[in-house]
Amino acid sequence: MLILIMIIVMISLSGLHTITTSDRSKQIFLQLKETYLLHIISLSFRYSEGVLSSVLEIESKGKLLNEGITCFHDISKATTKDHFGMIFTCYIDAPADGLYTFATYSEDGSMLSIGGRIIAENDGSHSVTRVTGRIPLKKGYHPYELLYFEDYEGQTLSINWIIPGNPREENIEPKYLFLNTLKK
Q: How many residues does the chain have?
A: 184
**Residue span binding Ca ion (CB under 5 A) among the ranges 27-35, 37-45, 71-79, 106-114:** 106-114
Does residue 123 belong to the site contacting Ca ion (CB under 5 A)? no
Q: Which is nearer to Ca ion, 12 or 80 (CB)?
A: 80
Candidate list 153, 169, 170, 173; residue touching Ca ion; CB under 5 A: 153
**Residue span binding Ca ion (CB under 5 A) among the ranges 14-22, 89-97, 153-161, 167-175:** 153-161
Alpha carbon distance 47, 85 (integer Å): 6
Helix (H) or strand (E) holding 24: helix 23-40
CB of 86 to Ca ion, least distance (A): 13
**Residue 110 amino acid letter:** S
**Residue span binding Ca ion (CB under 5 A) among the ranges 53-61, 103-111, 138-146, 172-180:** 103-111
Does residue 108 belong to the site contacting Ca ion (CB under 5 A)? yes
Alpha carbon distance 43, 70 (integer Å): 5
Q: What is the dihedral of CA 122, 124, 128, 131, to 10 degrees?
A: -10
CB of 91 to Ca ion, least distance (A): 29
Alpha carbon distance 76, 58 (integer Å): 17
**Residues interacting with Ca ion, by CB under 5 A?**
107-108, 153-154
